[in-house]
A and B are shown apart, each in its own frame.
Chain A
Amino acid sequence: MLTRLAGGHVIDPANRRDAIGDIFICDGRIVDAPAGGTVDESYDISNKIIMAGAIDIHSHIAGSNETMGRLVLSEQRAPWDGFHPGHFPRPAGAWNTFETGCTYAAMGFTTVVEPAVLPHQALQAHLELADIPIIDKATLTVLGNDDFLLNLLRRHEGGVAIRDYAAWTLSTSRGLGIKVINAGGAAAFKDNLRAFSLDDEVPEYGVSSRAIVKALQHAVHELRLTHPLHVHCNNLGLAGNVETALATIEAAENLPLHLAHLQFYGYGKEGPRGFSSAGARLAEAVNAAKSVTIDVGQVMFGQTVTISCDVLRQFNARNSARPKKWVICDGDSNGAGIVPYDYKATDFFNVVQWAVGLELFLLINDPWRVFFTTDHPNGAPFTAYPDILALLMDRDLRAEWMSRLPKEALEVTTLSSIAREYSLVDIAIMTRAAPAKLLGLKDRGHLGVGALADIAVYSPGNDKATMFREAALVFKNGQLVVRDGTVRHAPFGRTLRADPDCESGIKVRMRDYYEERYGLSPDFMMVVDSAIGRPDPFEIIPCLN
């Protein structure tokens, strides 16, 4: 069947297209204009904007930690309370897998990456992803606090062993890429350290955080994975932690490295409260380090819950929980912490955090290297995306927000001096073309011939938040799934994974290791396709040539 989307404003930066035109869909892919064949179905999208489906590279949407977060915030609430959790502008039951897929799709998102899957808990993450409709998914596997890796480093076993181990773990956990979260920090916390920085060493192993990050960066590079090592740095959330972020950027040493939710590391120690924005300094460093990419982790005001495998950080933050309850888990490797939090527009620190995120968005000048995230749900739930896009595109709107925020806090930031506004092309790069490139998804993030027909059509208007909240039309694999912001059809997508070469020696070695350390076979951590409960649940993304 041939479908024509006629007369829309095509914004497709990957193919340098920014003009009125038609897009044709056949069998789930974008095709050339037919040479005279008949069009079976046509949509008039004149006066509308058409982009590829958006891709979110970092959003905690599935896994045992997310479900723990759902359960911790599951007090009895009436649907009309509108609380659950925080400012989800939806009924009380909205924070579940089904609503996650539907809400993302309504905004024009068609691929989302769950960025923190612990290898032992990967099956649950994939089961949850399988219950999220419409969108395709992918996961990042967390390494860097695991005994096996730390031992390899302690014994100086070298790059090949680390690479084989990383490949084996990716393969058991069905991940697309590898993430490291406060490298060594969770292991150090088990030994009763309460602070951990880039050049600190994990007790017993004598391995520094820097050494772990570097080893994994090289392993990812040598495995030819499409996505660079995804780093959650040390010292998240602390005043003065910009030094850690700057040191980590420097440690990239011209090899690809992705730094997650950089906003949470953009803090200096200046000002009346000893807490200030270092956003401008950090943006300058990112601008200079061409091999580094970042996502922002924007904070927005309202109730949310922070869910993180940075167990040390979450432990230290537990007493500032709002409301006062929390769960801290000393896991097998990274562990996790669930700490509810209410970002307040009257709170000095929270307002600085909000401004730092916007500074990073606006002062990093290459939209191919800065990615759009709230670190859902840590900075804000993903339902806040449309409001953030509006803030980026409209300096008057920012000024209006700032007029209602405490001046004392804004004064330790540079936000009020920034005039830049994102264009629709910038938005399309940041949320479509660049994420596809960063993840190595060749047939996504653009509207060229051969691309997957994952397409979002928006009705432009003065209220940009509404435009991005309720897409006029969304197609997934060429199927119409959303019309006028409402889900019409909810098929289930697939999960994208890497398939690096996994040498057989490592399988034997890991079996011996699990038997010796845990008295168990590693079979318990294997994600097998048949356990997922949906046909053909995975799509393999080939490694780089």
Chain B
Amino acid sequence: MAEAWIRGKPAPLDDAIAEAANIVAGSRQPVIAGLGTDVAGARAAIKLARLVGGVVDHMHSDALLRDLGVMREAGMMVTMPTEAHVRADFLLLVGPGLIEAWQALPERLFAKRRIVWLCPDTAAGSAGAYENVTVVGDTPAELPAIVALLRARCVGRPVANPPIALATIDALVAELKRARFGVAVWSAARHDSLTIEMLCGLVNDLNAGTRFSGLPLASADNAAAVQQVAGWMTGYPLRTGFGRGVPEHDPWRFEASRLVDSGEADCAVWISAYGAWPPTWKRDVPLVALTGNPNTIRTHVTITVGRPGLDHDSVEHLAATGTLAAASARHPEAAASVASVLEKIITKLPAARPC
């Protein structure tokens, strides 16, 4: 099977790498996006961006920035999934998308504790599938109001026209306050940042009397790890650009889809090693894709890459521990890693700077 294609035709890997380097080096504003990759791939992508004055963005930056936005604007109490596993006596599941974000959530956290799920997914197979889960709230649309009500009643404020019975809210508030170590679980993929801020405010208020903490679930495609790499290598989260020689961060200006669709970016490197998710932009732009499945995206250069931790050794964010952990390949050498391909592209760039 071919590993690389140039304009849809199978090509030797070295030719594809040389062509990719040409495209990136000739670009005035490249974006390096997707970033579904392991830590080594993220390091190489940021190194490439620094060398060519590019922009880095992750396909799940919206969700990442919603949680980070609350940290940057207000305050957040969090805990680790392992600590929730051993200590939580009360689990407040908040809104939809939780099992989708972490399939092992029921197995890791549902046993031996009281669980209330606010406004779970309406789809069958969600909260109803678990015997010990009490549901409060019917649809995700009610969630912002319910979280706000809980926070208001937690500090004893009066409320008007609650969408659900006030007695239900007050009973839940009493339970939250009785918890010895409660944990609120949410997925930023399915909330707006104001709901997350309200929820984190509730958790903070509960700590006036007891212990309560938050557990934001990580986004897919190793987004949490890639954000950490960006943090240490640049000092900023994703949506950071190197166009002026130093890293600059701006969630609007450096959004990959906006850059491509507005014509500001004239080249893109799209990285999706966990699956062949296509880019979200609409405009055609010279595209180099590093992906697990070459047939889904129209590109100038496509190079297939392996799945981290399966086809090559990796370091990735682990949902069960909330930390970066090393994994050994199950099928080593089956396919190239994002890092190895990007490093080869970097060596083909003219006048590479040390970094």
Residue of chain B at shortest CB distance from A122: B323
Asked if A330 and B213 sit within 8 Å, CB to CB, the answer is yes
Asked if B248 and A79 sit within 8 Å, CB to CB, the answer is yes
Asked if A79 and B244 sit within 8 Å, CB to CB, the answer is yes
Interface residue? A325 (CB, 8 A): yes
Contacting residue for A79 out of B43, B85, B86, B246, CB 8 A:
B246
Asked if A328 and B318 sit within 8 Å, CB to CB, the answer is no
- Inter-chain contacts of B71 with A (CB < 8 A): 68, 71-72, 325, 327
Asked if A96 and B320 sit within 8 Å, CB to CB, the answer is no
- Inter-chain contacts of A93 with B (CB < 8 A): 234-236, 246-248
Interface string of A276-318 (1 = CB under 8 A from B): 0000000000000000000000000000000000000001001
User: Which residues, 18 to 47 on B, are CB-close (under 8 Å) to A?
Assistant: 39-40, 43
Asked if A71 and B227 sit within 8 Å, CB to CB, the answer is yes
Of A124-132, A153-161, A497-505, which stretch is located at the interface? A124-132
Interface string of B230-246 (1 = CB under 8 A from A): 01111111000000101
Asked if B232 and A524 sit within 8 Å, CB to CB, the answer is no
User: Which residues, 323 to 368 on A, are CB-close (under 8 Å) to B?
Assistant: 324-332, 335
- Inter-chain contacts of B318 with A (CB < 8 A): 524
Contacting residue for A91 out of B181, B210, B246, B321, CB 8 A:
B246
Asked if B80 and A528 sit within 8 Å, CB to CB, the answer is no
Interface residue? A120 (CB, 8 A): yes
Asked if B324 and A124 sit within 8 Å, CB to CB, the answer is yes
Asked if B79 and A331 sit within 8 Å, CB to CB, the answer is yes
Asked if B232 and A92 sit within 8 Å, CB to CB, the answer is no
A328 to B68, CA, bound (A): 13
Interface string of A64-103 (1 = CB under 8 A from B): 1011101111111111000010000001111111110000
Interface residue? B355 (CB, 8 A): yes
A98 to B355, CA, bound (A): 8
Asked if A94 and B321 sit within 8 Å, CB to CB, the answer is no
A94 to B74, CA, bound (A): 24
| Least CB distance, B79 to chain A, in whole angstroms | 4
Residue of chain A at shortest CB distance from B325: A524
Interface residue? A437 (CB, 8 A): no
Asked if B78 and A123 sit within 8 Å, CB to CB, the answer is no
Interface residue? B249 (CB, 8 A): yes
- Inter-chain contacts of A424 with B (CB < 8 A): none
- Inter-chain contacts of B207 with A (CB < 8 A): 315
Interface residue? A404 (CB, 8 A): no
Asked if A71 and B237 sit within 8 Å, CB to CB, the answer is yes
Contacting residue for B323 out of A190, A524, A531, CB 8 A:
A524
Asked if B75 and A74 sit within 8 Å, CB to CB, the answer is no
A328 to B71, CA, bound (A): 10
Interface string of B300-336 (1 = CB under 8 A from A): 0000000000000101001011011110000000000
A70 to B238, CA, bound (A): 12
Asked if B244 and A67 sit within 8 Å, CB to CB, the answer is no
Interface residue? B180 (CB, 8 A): yes
User: Which residues, 249 to 290 on B, are CB-close (under 8 Å) to A?
Assistant: 249-251
Interface residue? A545 (CB, 8 A): no
Interface residue? B350 (CB, 8 A): no
A74-B72, A190-B87, A531-B315 given as contacts; is B321 within 8 A of A96 (CB)? Answer: no
A264 to B108, CA, bound (A): 40
| Least CB distance, A440 to chain B, in whole angstroms | 28
Interface residue? B293 (CB, 8 A): no
Asked if A64 and B323 sit within 8 Å, CB to CB, the answer is yes
User: Which residues, 144 to 201 on B, are CB-close (under 8 Å) to A?
Assistant: 180-181
Q: Residues of B within 8 Å of A, CB-based: how many?
A: 54
A329-B78, A331-B79 given as contacts; is B68 within 8 A of A71 (CB)? Answer: yes
Interface residue? A397 (CB, 8 A): no
Interface residue? A543 (CB, 8 A): no
A327-B71, A328-B78, A332-B80 given as contacts; is B249 within 8 A of A70 (CB)? Answer: no
A120 to B321, CA, bound (A): 8
Asked if B235 and A74 sit within 8 Å, CB to CB, the answer is yes
Asked if A330 and B78 sit within 8 Å, CB to CB, the answer is yes
Interface residue? B113 (CB, 8 A): no
Residue of chain B at shortest CB distance from A79: B246
A273 to B78, CA, bound (A): 34
| Least CB distance, A176 to chain B, in whole angstroms | 20
Asked if B313 and A530 sit within 8 Å, CB to CB, the answer is yes
Asked if B211 and A192 sit within 8 Å, CB to CB, the answer is yes
A74-B72, A329-B79 given as contacts; is B231 within 8 A of A123 (CB)? Answer: no
- Inter-chain contacts of B244 with A (CB < 8 A): 79
A71 to B240, CA, bound (A): 12
Asked if A76 and B83 sit within 8 Å, CB to CB, the answer is no
Interface residue? B73 (CB, 8 A): yes
Contacting residue for B86 out of A70, A74, A128, A517, CB 8 A:
A517
User: Which residues, 80 to 119 on B, are CB-close (under 8 Å) to A?
Assistant: 80, 82-83, 85-87, 108
Interface residue? B125 (CB, 8 A): no
- Inter-chain contacts of A99 with B (CB < 8 A): 235
Interface residue? A520 (CB, 8 A): yes
Interface residue? B341 (CB, 8 A): no
| Least CB distance, A253 to chain B, in whole angstroms | 34
A111 to B246, CA, bound (A): 26
Asked if B80 and A330 sit within 8 Å, CB to CB, the answer is yes
Contacting residue for A97 out of B80, B85, B233, B354, CB 8 A:
B233
27 inter-chain pairs at a CB distance below 8 angstroms, sorted by A residue, are: A64-B323, A67-B228, A68-B231, A71-B68, A71-B236, A72-B72, A78-B248, A96-B232, A97-B233, A99-B235, A120-B321, A124-B324, A127-B232, A127-B315, A131-B232, A131-B233, A190-B87, A192-B211, A324-B75, A327-B71, A327-B77, A327-B78, A330-B211, A518-B82, A520-B82, A524-B325, A531-B313
* Residues of B in contact with A (beta carbons under 8 Å apart): 39-40, 43, 68, 71-80, 82-83, 85-87, 108, 180-181, 207, 210-211, 213, 227-228, 231-237, 244, 246-251, 313, 315, 318, 320-321, 323-326, 339, 354-355
10 smallest beta-carbon distances between A and B, as pairs: A93-B247, A531-B326, A96-B235, A67-B231, A330-B79, A524-B325, A95-B235, A93-B246, A91-B246, A124-B324
**A490-B355, A520-B82 known; 15 other A-B pairs, CB under 8 Å?**
A70-B235, A93-B246, A97-B233, A98-B355, A99-B235, A120-B323, A121-B323, A123-B315, A321-B75, A325-B71, A329-B78, A330-B78, A330-B79, A520-B320, A525-B321
